[in-house]
Amino acid sequence: MPDDVKRAARKIDYMLDECLSELKKYTKQASNLSSKKLGKKVLIEIQQRMQKNLKSRGGTMYTAISVVSAAIKLAHLKDMLTSQGVEAAKKYIEKLELDKSKSAAKIRSNKMYRQVRKEILISAGKKPKLEVLKNTLIKHFESNPDGRVMIFAEYRDTIDFLISEISGIEGVKAKKFIGQAKGSGNGMSQEEQKKTLEDFRDGKFNVLVSTSIGEEGIDIPSTTLVLFYEPVPSAIRYIQRRGRTARDGMPGDVIILIMRGSRDEAYYWSSINKEKKMHRQIYKLKKELEAHAGKKIVIKKVDKKGQTKLDSFVA
């Protein structure tokens, strides 16, 4: 992780700890929380419980919800900075500046935030994930000119950024694949989605940059490389994404980009451990069924012949 990102992340942690310290006044659930080991999911669960108690407790509960909302926003800013990169953090800061909520105002009033904001907005530091991504694409198409690549990214802003960055690479023709519009955001209609997949199948472009919509339920042609811009904590999603390459005995690669010291590492190991647990449960069920049926049961394995997997590029 670049030094300027580390410095800004530490300052965000400081603000997060301030929020958590204040939050402890309102709920025991926050008593063991720390910025060092904190997920947005936990904060969102606390927020939801507080919202359910609004009618019965009112008053201070509004303040508590504002505090936890500020913590969620800070945790998201940290994720953007450390996992997605400086450009994603800049985009989120722009949104925070326009956010009229009390939680956003609370963040903006913090002197530490003004330092973080300045550092992120003027940052022109290294972009390790992006550089690895670009180099990977260059090498892949040098050795496989007719290859097809699918890149998964969690956020639409990240997808737009990646498209703009990789479109200048010789031999790369990239398009995005996202879901339908959400709220005031932009999206793709079903017709646009269908046309994009047809063009990808017909070779009119060779890199599809997708959100989670590309994981399942859609007929996407097999690719020669699947690249995760960040890990996912779900074993099922991990398996589904991998399944987009190396079909029908054809070779294919899977590469996962991980920023050292970010939530990426936790997400990666979470999905790996969950998949191992899944396999253990399947094996246990198989043994139980065999004992009940009195005969051996053969579980058909999906042939991934030729698939190689480079689990991580740690930047």
Q: Where are the domains of the chain?
A: 3-122, 127-314
pLDDT tens for each residue of 92-135: 999 999 999 999 999 999 999 999 999 998 876 678 899 999 99
Q: Model confidence over 256-298: pLDDT tens digits?
A: 999 888 888 888 888 888 888 888 888 888 887 877 777 776 6
pLDDT at 52: 80
What contacts 285, CB < 8 A, 6 or more positions away?
none
CATH class of 3-122: mainly alpha
Q: Return d(Cα 237, Cα 246) in angstroms, integer.
A: 17
Q: Measured between alpha carbons, how far is 246 from 250 in angstroms, rounded to an integer?
A: 5
Residue 206: closest CA among 136, 147, 260, 270: 147
Answer yes or no: same fold for 3-122 and 127-314: no
Domain 127-314 in CATH 3.30.720.120? The answer is no
Contacts of residue 81, Cβ cutoff 8 Å, sequence gap at least 6? 5, 8, 9, 12, 88, 89, 120
* pLDDT for the residue 240: 82
pLDDT at 148: 92
